[in-house]
Amino acid sequence: MATATLRSRGAGERTLIAPAEQPAPSSRPDPRAYSCPECGHVLRVSGVGRHRVYFERDEDRSVDPVMDGVCPGCGRGLPGKNPARSRS
């Protein structure tokens, strides 16, 4: 809990210093997390756009990314990955 503090200015004067306001909690989803719309499996995301890398949420170190471009829970494609195109 934040409390105000008194700061002495000299000769008996005191100034009340209020604590810094804390930002209101945001209703926007965490951009570092991806929740699969198909099965609800949650992955941690690093990077943006086509440079996104997905990791399991319970992994504290980023050493084992999801490499196949699909949700580990249901197999649905993850955003940011371009499908392989056949070249003729």
Which tens digit of pLDDT belongs to each residue from 8-47? 556 666 766 766 666 666 566 676 899 999 999 999 998 8
Residue 25 falls within a domain, yes or no?
Answer: no
Tokens standing for 36? 């699969």
pLDDT digits (tens, 9 = 90+) for 55-78: 998 877 778 898 888 999 999 999
Could you list the residue range(s) of the whole structural domain that residue 47 is in?
30-80
pTM over 0.85: no
- Between the alpha carbon of residue 63 and those of residues 28, 34, 76, 78, the distances in Å are 28, 18, 22, 19
Residue 38 falls within a domain, yes or no?
Answer: yes
Residue 62 falls within a domain, yes or no?
Answer: yes
Number of domains in the chain: 1
Residue 13 falls within a domain, yes or no?
Answer: no
Residue 39 falls within a domain, yes or no?
Answer: yes
Contact 20, 32 (CB under 8 A): no
pLDDT value, residue 86 = 35
- Nearest by Cα to 41 from 1, 3, 76: 76
Residue 44 falls within a domain, yes or no?
Answer: yes
Q: What is the mean pLDDT of the chain?
A: 75
